[in-house]
Structure 1
């Protein structure tokens, strides 16, 4: 689908024509970029349910790529995101999947660069709001609508308490927190949504704690 103007898909508040299929898709792509932390070189988008059926007509493809390039929903470059992807050397593919998912607007994004890879499953729940349901095999619930940190850590006694204590030292209030693990005593993932953006100094201090292997932030 071709757009003459940014206003063909972006309304005064959110991306259209469908807030679920375009604004939400852009937000999922943007969250994936923030979590990956480096410029992606390739991406594969696996689309499920209504995403798979209408992704071209509703601009879901443009929005996903634009978000992955770092474009927010109001960015005037969004309509030309496929051209910008070519300029930046980002190769991408779209795959229409038939498997049934719990939510009709579901996408699995696989991306990579510099030998690193990441896999994320996100859903668009309406009104431009999204949830990340899975990250590299860890089940989670991350809205992407609030500042948050993701902490990969060894599943050891005291690891969670040390992170929450460090946040308290910096007077950062936790709005939502959950922990996911694949196997007891192995690698685990903390997802912590907070009330304000977290500084790089705070992130570095958390990364220095015992049993912490990686800290990533998402800003609002």
Structure 2
């Protein structure tokens, strides 16, 4: 698995007329791509609130797809991302959803490659910044303001301890941690914010720990 930042694409130069509707949207798309770990074959993109009302005029559609293609916010190819995705054979569908959401700039992105699927909810909070609020049915808070490790694991005794012990061994301090699960004994998700970036060899050790299914990191 290739580790890289979900939130490594914000910068002073942004493509598009609106930081919220373009740069923030691109960050949501790229977060989905990074957490999926590979380029998706298809994407179902549901847009809510002002995203749904203005996404064509403000470039939200090309920005999200540009993120799915792993483009930076200042990448000039974002403007042609729909054409590039079509050339690659990526199937994209947009849905203007009227459901009420807590934030006006909300996108729900389902992606897959025929073998695996992922669903992510992100919000664009202004200034080109984005937060991920849901991943595969798990509620979470990811802003990219601090280094973090996402750990998908089986809900078993000792799973959390195995992760925290490894981090402690390498003197990595935990600033915030939240754990959620879908049901007793099913899949669970740890979101661990730490004080420094976690090296890839530590992530490999975490991935090999008991009951761990998948690891992703967010660098500062």
Q: 1:83 aligned to 2:110?
A: no
SS of residue paired to 1:56: helix
Unaligned runs of 5+ in 2: 1-9
Q: Pairwise mapping of residues 56-205 of structure 1 onto structure 2 (< 5 A)?
A: 56-205=56-205
Contact persistence 2:153–2:159 (CA under 8 A):
yes
Q: 1:206 aligned to 2:206?
A: yes
Provide closer, same or farther for how the CA distance between residues 22 and 145 of structure 1 changes in structure 2, counting only shifts above 3 A: farther
Contact persistence 2:15–2:76 (CA under 8 A):
no
Deviation, structure 1 residue 150: 1.4
Q: TM-score, normalised by structure 2?
A: 0.88
Provide the residue aligned with 1:21 in structure 2. Answer: 21
Contact persistence 2:15–2:75 (CA under 8 A):
no
Provide closer, same or farther for how the CA distance between residues 115 and 169 of structure 1 changes in structure 2, counting only shifts above 3 A: same
Deviation, structure 1 residue 11: 9.2
Provide the residue aligned with 1:50 in structure 2. Answer: 50
Structure scoring higher RCO (CA < 8 A, sep ≥ 6) equals: 2
Unaligned runs of 5+ in 1: 1-9
Provide closer, same or farther for how the CA distance between residues 157 and 74 of structure 1 changes in structure 2, counting only shifts above 3 A: same
